[in-house]
Structure 1
Amino acid sequence: MNIEDLYKLYITHGLVDTDTRNIRKNTMFFALKGETFNGNKFAEEAIANGASYAVVDEAIYKTSEQIILVDDVLQTLQKLANYHRNQLKLPIIALTGSNGKTTTKELINAVLSKKYKTTATVGNLNNHIGVPLTLLSMNKDTEIGIVEMGANHHKEIAFLSEIANPDYGYITNFGSAHLEGFGSLEGVVRAKSELYDFLKNHKKKVFVNPNDAIQVEKTRDIETIMFAKDIQFVDADPFVKLSYRGKDINSNLIGVYNFANLSVAITIGEYFNVTLEQIKEAIENYISSNNRSQVINTERNKIILDAYNANPTSMKAALESFKELKATNKTVILGDMFELGEYSSDEHQTITNLIQDLNIDTVFLIGKNFHKTVTKNTKFETFDELKEHLITNPIENSTILIKGSRGMALERVVELC
């Protein structure tokens, strides 16, 4: 079945699912494969649970007219998403970057949704499956689409850009993330700039932070929209406060590093004619979740939980911002940073050296990589070792920064503090 004919079936209900545990009535089930699963095996179950059609790529599982056989289910999903996107003919904003993608996407969505019907990437479903699913969740009522793109290897952003066909783009920053896949910081810049290449080749537009030299350099030959004028940083203690056109805006985001994320949301809002009052309301009502820059007050301590992910650039920014807080009795709990490859030892040592320079009151380092570093700070090779220590030596009356890569699951520390 070709994409045009498949699209006619999809558009009757406009629903796509890939997990039989969450099948919606009249959806189209795509039987994706992974290293440990084969979605083809669940095609009949999907139909039984209410799906109108199931798309498979193994002939043995085509057991009824409702089951559609294609050469490759994943490629078909991607092609269908691109076809759907082009039928909708709506403006799409794509964003990528080393840090802050999801927070920035949520801020942009919060601002634009004050005036428009928006559809944005859910959570961080930003890969070769998540981007197609985001596009297919858009419908005739969607006025602006916001698509987050993630990558840990070269050519991924280029591929996702071809699927999403964005009209506008923004790269949050270029940092030391996924060095194992990108090879170096220069490799990160090249990989993320694949979005710029797409926008340039298709004569589209890009939002640019004028204070980021790499962004400015890489977009010289593209039509640019610079950050709105009159956005002024006020302070971040702990929440970022800024001024825009003479009006104070108090966010619920911690860390100076979030100023750029807020600035681009304001810029995009202004570009799409969202009023200043609407922008202010959207930002002041936005509260981060999912372990990203959350402030949690326990009975004993104030916790800044930033444990969704970590890399050398975001770790450095979080520590430097934490140092500037006016709070007394500060504690830092850091977990290993992953996907750094041959750079891992040097990058973890660099972070421990930075901590020494910042002279923070109490520091706990957790994980095999931090355990190998040379430092005067307390180290634990495993979370269980940290847990045992905190049970017998509880932290009291402290402001605590918790940060580490997702695999460290450091949100578990909260219940110990």
Structure 2
Amino acid sequence: MSIGMLSTEQLYHKFLECTGVSTDTRRITPDCLFVALKGDSFDGNRFAEQAIASGARYAIVDDALVAERDRSNGQNHYLLVPDCLTALQNLARHHRQTFNFPIIGLTGSNGKTTTKELMAAVLSKNYQLYATVGNLNNHIGVPLTLLSLNEQHEMAIVEMGANHQEEIALLCSIAQPTHGLITNVGKAHLEGFGGMEGVRKGKGELYDYLAQHAKTVFINSRDKTLTVMYRERLKTIRSESTFAEAIFYPGEETDLIQESPVVVFRDSAGHEVTTHLPGRYNFENMLAALAVGDYFGVSPEDANRAVSDYNPTNNRSQHITKGTNTVLLDAYNANPSSMAAAIQQFAATPAKRKVVILGDMYELGSESEAEHAALGELIAKSKFDLVILAGKDMHYALGALPNAYYFPDKFSLHNWLMDNPMTDTHILVKGSRGMSLESVIPFI
């Protein structure tokens, strides 16, 4: 007898019996719910039996033969659905609708994760908060984030990443944010978005959702692009629906006193705050966190303390001391906008000797050659003591950098660093995630 497909409601009752959700058999916890997703080179259905054997209570599968084999053995561990990914997303949407506390949607080309961490630090002063863990910010990660919410939470921050149009719209339909913030719109994922206008449109899907559902938006008033995007939606939507509220920040004046080696700012009450993060771009992230905290009633003293205490450990704007060297590790990701900001900030940092170790910027498509060449020109103007480039596309930067050291692969780079030790040097390490340039740290 064939096994019937389960509805989202039926799946949800099974989910409530479980202790959590996993899509990876290497991370099975007792009585969790395993979701058998498919990838380019794997089929999660093949691992469902292993998940159950490892302690999962149920496995969501979309292969009827797998489910029937389980039933024929007198078991009832497998939950059959038409498509596992869609089932995961629908389950997360259903779970999200059981909560009525604020859910803040956060996206942008640069600074998403740092802003999320700063916001979480600030809001946690007053609320039982859950925020996206690591980089679980895509069509799989956002559902997993939402399914981690429980009745003990009072607020959530859901980071939303995207590399093509309509992805943020999908994530909004699942997370259904009550509040939202776009950090900025820059040159990231140009290949998938189809150029800068595509990036603008794709990131703007968060504004679209918030406007159409009369929700609250936080907007950096210093960012002309974001302000224009907001006004465009006011004109388009007109009387049908609009934002419930628009919070433009910064409101009261917050002065940037110093941006390197770390940001120091003075708030509107005259209090000076020293942080662990460098750069004007991180100051913008701090302003976002402070504005959101103020809106939700966190005292200025607590918010300042949270921002001051935040110390990154995730390869983003992370200061590391290696002997007599100081390393600024910003190797979690890179695109033309974030790379330019990091280089300009590092060039302004006072130091006797400055070296940059830079890796390829990914997902630029046909723009890659021009963007890497432009990066080379920017680096040349900065007059660093030593420039080290790695990756196949970084050779496009060499035209403006005849004295740079270039390595097509990291193995050669590692060997060179071992053979040429540095002392008393400030070093910026930055590249796209696929380069994993944090691997150079043991060799510095």
Q: Are the equivalent residues in 2 in contact too, given 1:180–1:342 (CA < 8 A)?
A: yes
The DSSP-based 3-state class of the residue aligned with 1:5 is helix
**Does structure 1 residue 203 correspond to structure 2 residue 214?**
yes
Match of 1:411 in 2: 438
Q: Are the equivalent residues in 2 in contact too, given 1:31–1:43 (CA < 8 A)?
A: yes
Which segment is superposed worse, 329-338 or 14-23?
14-23
Which segment is superposed worse, 30-39 or 116-125?
30-39
Letter of the 2:182 counterpart: I
5+ unaligned residues in a row in structure 2: which ranges?
A: 1-5, 235-242
Change (3 A) 1:50 1:398: same
Shift of 1:226: 1.2
Tell me, in whole angstroms, the C-alpha distance in 1 between the residues paired with 2:253 and 2:318.
Answer: 28
Which segment is superposed worse, 357-366 or 137-146?
357-366
Letter of the 1:225 counterpart: I
Which segment is superposed worse, 351-360 or 340-349?
351-360
Match of 2:300 in 1: 276
Match of 1:180 in 2: 191
Q: Are the equivalent residues in 1 in contact too, given 2:260–2:345 (CA < 8 A)?
A: no
**Does structure 1 residue 258 correspond to structure 2 residue 282?**
yes
- Cα deviation, 1:243-268, whole Å, max 9, x if unaligned, reads 22321221111122101100010001
Give the alignment of 1:334-353 within 5 angstroms.
334-353=358-377
Match of 1:108 in 2: 119
Change (3 A) 1:83 1:14: farther
- Cα deviation, 1:95-144, whole Å, max 9, x if unaligned, reads 11111111111111111111100111101110000000000000111100
Aligned counterpart for 1:371 among listed residues 395, 399, 403: 395
- Cα deviation, 1:275-318, whole Å, max 9, x if unaligned, reads 12211221122111221111011113111011111000000000
The DSSP-based 3-state class of the residue aligned with 1:253 is coil
The DSSP-based 3-state class of the residue aligned with 1:87 is coil
Match of 2:261 in 1: 238
Tell me, in whole angstroms, the C-alpha distance in 1 between the residues paired with 2:439 and 2:48.
Answer: 37
Aligned counterpart for 2:427 among listed residues 382, 400, 405: 400
Tell me, in whole angstroms, the C-alpha distance in 2 between the residues paired with 1:376 and 1:42.
Answer: 52
Shift of 1:14: 5.0
**Does structure 1 residue 358 correspond to structure 2 residue 389?**
no
Give the alignment of 1:115-194 within 5 angstroms.
115-194=126-205
Shift of 1:358: 1.5
Q: Are the equivalent residues in 1 in contact too, given 2:330–2:429 (CA < 8 A)?
A: yes
The DSSP-based 3-state class of the residue aligned with 2:92 is helix
**Does structure 1 residue 226 correspond to structure 2 residue 231?**
no
Q: Are the equivalent residues in 2 in contact too, given 1:14–1:136 (CA < 8 A)?
A: no
Which segment is superposed worse, 366-375 or 288-297?
366-375
Shift of 1:184: 1.1
Change (3 A) 1:50 1:387: closer
Q: Are the equivalent residues in 2 in contact too, given 1:43–1:56 (CA < 8 A)?
A: yes
Identity %: 49
Q: Are the equivalent residues in 2 in contact too, given 1:365–1:377 (CA < 8 A)?
A: no
Q: How many residues align?
A: 417
Give the alignment of 1:312-331 within 5 angstroms.
312-331=336-355
Tell me, in whole angstroms, the C-alpha distance in 2 between the residues paired with 1:413 and 1:348.
Answer: 21
Q: Are the equivalent residues in 2 in contact too, given 1:14–1:137 (CA < 8 A)?
A: no
Tell me, in whole angstroms, the C-alpha distance in 2 between the residues paired with 1:137 and 1:40.
Answer: 23
**Does structure 1 residue 248 correspond to structure 2 residue 272?**
yes
Q: Are the equivalent residues in 2 in contact too, given 1:91–1:144 (CA < 8 A)?
A: yes
The DSSP-based 3-state class of the residue aligned with 1:219 is helix
Runs of 4+ in 1 over 3 A off after TM superposition: none
Q: TM-score, normalised by structure 1?
A: 0.97
Q: TM-score, normalised by structure 2?
A: 0.92
Letter of the 1:19 counterpart: D
Aligned counterpart for 2:24 among listed residues 5, 19, 42: 19
Match of 1:86 in 2: 97
Q: Are the equivalent residues in 1 in contact too, given 2:36–2:61 (CA < 8 A)?
A: yes
